[in-house]
């Protein structure tokens, strides 16, 4: 009896132990499955939060407009070109030029990432014909000298029908307590008279509410080179250029967030009227005087209701007026008053659909009028307008680090309501195109990324309407 009881007792203990082991195994399996489920459902959300969108910005438009004024010698025809200040139309441009440029440039959100950093280099290039690319490259770096002071260098490289630009700038900046800062920049032009000096101040944080104000003396040493040093006395320099009225530029930039979902950007520039006399070394009346007035303004409003979505609209305009007058009636140059203006109104939206999928959409309406009144009544006045729409949608697949690809559709509609044969171009700029774009590349975290791709256009110009729209590429490198 006792033996059977002992046996039963041991069997019960074994069963109890097996039951506890089974319960523990069940708990372990349940926890493992729960952990796996959480990792699959929550990890993408956490990754999406860490990879949330930044913002869009209009700052690149303002910087490029400013660079156009700083580096006048980098424009086709140089400082004294009769094509004016903006020089938007050239003989080598065809009806797809502006579409090709839109397709190759960085997106507004990519521009925001660029201007939020101190150190980096980026470049884009897009085919505009069988031989040439339109390209734009930027390099910048900043090195701290102390807790408050830093020195920085910026270099801009640009090649297109309107400019062959190599602009070097060096600047000193300081950040003082209470979010107050200051800076001084020097544009180093190989054409010495084109050297520009800028001083300004900042208020606020770059990634929050901030304001920038500056005053610049354009072509600051022109009169020193031509008058004090008498540059035209050298045989290889035939003309003297003297400012009777020196151009002074006042520039401002303001970025203000309103709560967590609304941002506003505003930009403005005004250049005081200038008067530049150009004459031969042999006679101060053998030449002409060029008077100019320049201004720009722009603004952007962005709404970001979620970390994965932002949308907004913007408007900008740049305006220049040039007047050329002979110093003597016998001088063989044309007298004229030229007015140039480019105005844009646009909207944009970017949605991070999932951690790896992104949708960019944007549309812009552009007006490019140009008017020229000749001093000679026998010459026909120029009264021209190029008016266009550009709308695009791009779907991008990318990981935080790894393969990147995108595909998109763009529509470009340009018309010349009047004056169609009065500006330089390769034929009429009137066009209506559909463009399918595609790109592939790679992303190495937040450090380096590149894309290369091409386009297929439908414009009705070939037998089946379809044609290759050209290739393009771009990269960004940060450190």
Judged against a pLDDT cut of 50, whether residue 418 lies above it is answered with yes
Which tens digit of pLDDT belongs to each residue from 421-432? 899 888 889 999
Which tens digit of pLDDT belongs to each residue from 163-187? 999 999 999 999 998 899 999 999 9
Q: Which pLDDT does position 400 carry in this prediction?
A: 85
356 pLDDT band, cuts 50/70/90, is very high
52 pLDDT band, cuts 50/70/90, is low
Q: What are phi and psi of 263, to 5 degrees?
A: -130, 145
What's the length of the chain?
A: 479
Query: 250: burial class by Cβ within 10 Å (0-12, 13-18, 19+)?
Result: middle
Buried b (16+ CB within 10 A) or exposed e, 339-353: bbbbbbebebbbebe
Mean pLDDT of 377-394: 96
Mean pLDDT of 447-465: 87
Contact by Cβ (8 Å): 296, 86: no
Q: Which pLDDT does position 463 carry in this prediction?
A: 67
**In whole numbers, what is the pLDDT of the chain averaged over residues?**
88
Which tens digit of pLDDT belongs to each residue from 241-275? 999 999 999 999 999 999 989 999 999 999 999 99
Residue boundaries of the structural domains of the chain: 53-478
Q: Which pLDDT does position 29 carry in this prediction?
A: 38
Mean pLDDT of 26-46: 38
Mean pLDDT of 38-64: 64
Closest to 186 measured CA to CA, from 154, 211, 159, 222: 154
Whole-prediction pTM: 0.86
Mean pLDDT of 130-157: 96
Q: Which pLDDT does position 282 carry in this prediction?
A: 83
Q: Which pLDDT does position 390 carry in this prediction?
A: 97
């Amino acid at each position: 009896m006792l033996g059977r009881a002992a046996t039963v007792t041991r069997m019960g203990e074994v069963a109890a132990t097996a039951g506890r082991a089974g319960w523990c195994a069940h708990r372990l399996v349940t926890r493992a499955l729960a952990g796996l489920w959480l990792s699959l459902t929550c990890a993408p959300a956490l990754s999406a939060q860490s990879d949330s969108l930044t913002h869009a910005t209009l700052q690149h438009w303002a910087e490029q407009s400013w660079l156009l004024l700083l580096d006048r010698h980098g424009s086709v025809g140089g400082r004294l070109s009769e094509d004016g200040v903006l020089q938007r139309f050239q003989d080598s441009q065809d009806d797809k030029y502006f579409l090709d440029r839109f397709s190759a440039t960085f997106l507004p959100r990519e521009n925001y990432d660029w201007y939020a950093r101190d150190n980096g280099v980026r470049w884009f290039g897009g085919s505009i014909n069988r031989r040439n690319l339109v390209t734009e490259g930027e390099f910048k770096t900043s090195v701290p000298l102390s807790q408050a002071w830093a020195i920085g260098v910026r270099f801009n490289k640009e090649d297109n029908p309107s400019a062959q630009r190599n602009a070097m700038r060096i600047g000193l900046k300081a950040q003082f307590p209470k979010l107050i800062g200051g800076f001084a920049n020097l544009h180093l032009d190989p054409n010495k008279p084109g050297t520009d000096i800028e001083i300004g101040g900042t208020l606020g944080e770059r990634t929050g509410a901030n304001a920038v104000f500056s005053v610049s003396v354009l072509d600051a040493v022109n009169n020193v080179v031509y008058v004090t040093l008498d540059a035209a006395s050298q045989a290889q320099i035939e003309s003297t250029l003297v400012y009777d009225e020196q151009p002074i530029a006042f520039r401002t930039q303001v970025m203000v967030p309103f709560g967590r979902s609304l941002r506003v950007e505003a930009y403005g520039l005004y250049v005081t009227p200038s008067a530049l006399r150009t004459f031969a070394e042999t006679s101060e009346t053998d030449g002409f005087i060029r008077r100019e007035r320049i201004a720009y303004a722009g603004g952007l409003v962005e709404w970001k209701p979620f970390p994965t979505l932002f949308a907004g609209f913007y408007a900008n305009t740049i305006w220049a007026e040039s007047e050329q007058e002979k110093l003597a009636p016998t001088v063989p140059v044309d007298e004229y008053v030229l007015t140039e203006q480019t105005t844009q109104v646009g909207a944009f939206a970017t949605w991070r659909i999932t951690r790896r999928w992104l949708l960019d959409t944007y549309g812009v309406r552009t007006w490019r009028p140009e008017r020229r009144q000749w001093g000679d009544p026998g010459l026909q006045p120029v009264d021209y307008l190029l008016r266009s729409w550009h709308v695009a949608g791009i779907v991008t697949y990318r990981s935080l680090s790894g393969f990147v690809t995108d595909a998109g559709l763009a529509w470009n509609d340009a018309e010349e309501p009047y004056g169609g044969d009065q500006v330089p171009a390769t034929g009429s700029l009137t066009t209506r195109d559909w463009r399918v774009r595609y790109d592939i590349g790679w992303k190495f975290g937040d450090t380096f990324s590149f894309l290369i791709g091409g386009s297929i256009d439908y414009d009705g110009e070939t037998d089946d309407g379809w044609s290759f729209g050209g290739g393009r590429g771009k990269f960004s490198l940060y450190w």
